[in-house]
């Protein structure tokens, strides 16, 4: 017998890509379970499947930086903070943090298919009672319109969002005077794509001006000390923490500044949640 649960949860993470660098990701998680029925006529109570799988993913890849160990020029070393990871291509990057902020994977490149197979195998080694095999599927949200991926860290978050490089793939909806603006959405999604969003207060070294400058972010959070260094032109500096509420408000202010027209922003943080912010030349309403 095979049981399935589609869209059981989401996985939000960042990954190092040898072609694009640091990128955010959000995937729907579907699961199939093979096994035998118990006396209750069930293979595995649906009510227990979600907490069981979510607990494993939350302790594993969720809200981590996924590192492809076989990627050319990549190195991993123990350091005072926990792990120090350096990459050379497509640009130089160094990240440090507690071990649990990273998921090390034995590949040249990370794909959702490989990740799903990897965790299917790991989970199938210690399955719940009556379950013989577990198959996960990870897939992106179908987005009809503008979307972008970004990475960030929230040092004040009590949970795993404090990790300095976790990310999301998000929809972006913009209205001017009540009408959706697909061209403006696409232009802003392009500006934000694959960027690291950083709060000004977390910059410990702004680096040299110009294209070769490296910006250093450093903070202490509940799980430990974090550091990230990457090219300035991969970063967007915000005057506030990078919560989705502040991202939505920042976008509304920037768009109003550039167009001079009233704007309403719906900014998503990954799949299915986010914040609205609106601004007009005369009044500001959030």
Q: Are 177 and 32 in contact (CB under 8 A)?
A: no
Residue list 239-268, contact with ligand LPXRUNBV (CB under 6 A): 243-245
From the CB of 188, what's the least distance to ligand LPXRUNBV, in Å? 18
DSSP characters over the chain = -EEEEEEEEEEEEEEEETTTEEEEEEEEEEEEEEE---TTS-SS-HHHHHHHHHHHHHHTTTTSEEEETTSTT-EEEEETTEEEEEE-SSS-EEEEE-GGGEEEESSSS--HHHHHHHHHHHHHHSPPTTEEEEEEEEEPPP-SS-EEEEEE--TT-SSGGGSTTEEEEEEEEEEETTEE-HHHHHHHHHHHTTEEEEEGGGEEE---SSTT-EEEEEEEETTEEEEEEEEGGGEEEESS---HHHHHHHHHHHHHHHH-S-EEEEEESSSS-EEEEEE-SS-EE-
Q: How does strand 224-231 pair with strand 235-238? A: unpaired
Closer of 16 and 35 to ligand LPXRUNBV (Cβ): 16
Sole binder of ligand LPXRUNBV in the list 13, 25, 161, 235 (CB under 6 A): 161
Sole binder of ligand LPXRUNBV in the list 269, 277, 278, 279 (CB under 6 A): 269
Closer of 44 and 150 to ligand LPXRUNBV (Cβ): 150
Regarding 222 and contact with ligand LPXRUNBV (CB under 6 A), the answer is: no
Instruction: Give the interface segment with ligand LPXRUNBV, choosing from 15-23, 158-166, 198-206, 260-268 (CB under 6 A).
Output: 158-166
Closer of 247 and 256 to ligand LPXRUNBV (Cβ): 247
From the CB of 239, what's the least distance to ligand LPXRUNBV, in Å? 16
Residue list 11-40, contact with ligand LPXRUNBV (CB under 6 A): 12
Residue list 105-134, contact with ligand LPXRUNBV (CB under 6 A): none
Closer of 166 and 171 to ligand LPXRUNBV (Cβ): 166
How many residues of this chain interact with ligand LPXRUNBV, rule: CB under 6 A?
A: 13
Q: Which residues contact ligand LPXRUNBV (rule: CB under 6 A)?
A: 10, 12, 63, 154, 157, 159, 161, 166, 243-245, 269-270
């Amino acid at each position: 017998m095979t049981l399935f649960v589609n869209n059981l949860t989401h996985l939000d993470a960042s990954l190092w890509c040898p072609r694009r660098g640091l990128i955010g990701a959000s995937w729907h998680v579907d699961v199939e379970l093979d096994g035998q029925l118990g006396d209750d006529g069930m293979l595995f109570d649906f009510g227990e499947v979600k907490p069981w799988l979510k607990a494993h993913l939350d302790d594993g890849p969720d809200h981590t930086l996924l590192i492809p160990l076989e990627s050319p020029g990549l190195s991993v070393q123990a350091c005072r903070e926990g792990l120090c990871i350096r990459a050379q291509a497509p640009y130089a990057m160094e990240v440090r943090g507690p071990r649990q902020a990273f998921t090390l994977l034995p590949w040249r490149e990370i794909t959702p298919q490989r990740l799903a197979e990897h965790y299917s195998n790991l989970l199938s080694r210690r399955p719940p009672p009556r379950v013989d095999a577990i198959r996960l599927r990870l897939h992106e949200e179908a987005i009809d319109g503008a979307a972008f991926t970004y990475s960030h860290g929230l040092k004040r978050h009590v949970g795993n969002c404090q990790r300095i490089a976790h990310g999301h793939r998000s929809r972006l909806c913009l209205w001017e005077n009540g009408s959706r603006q697909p061209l403006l959405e696409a232009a802003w999604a392009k500006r934000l794509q694959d960027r690291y969003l950083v709060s000004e207060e977390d910059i410990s070294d702004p680096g040299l001006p110009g294209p070769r400058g490296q910006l250093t972010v450093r903070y202490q959070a509940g799980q430990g000390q974090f550091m990230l260094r990457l090219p300035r032109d991969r970063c967007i500096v915000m005057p506030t923490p990078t919560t989705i509420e502040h991202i939505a408000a920042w976008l509304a202010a920037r768009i109003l500044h550039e167009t001079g027209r009233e704007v309403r922003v719906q900014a998503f943080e990954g799949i299915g949640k986010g914040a609205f912010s609106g601004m007009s030349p005369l009044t500001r309403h959030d």
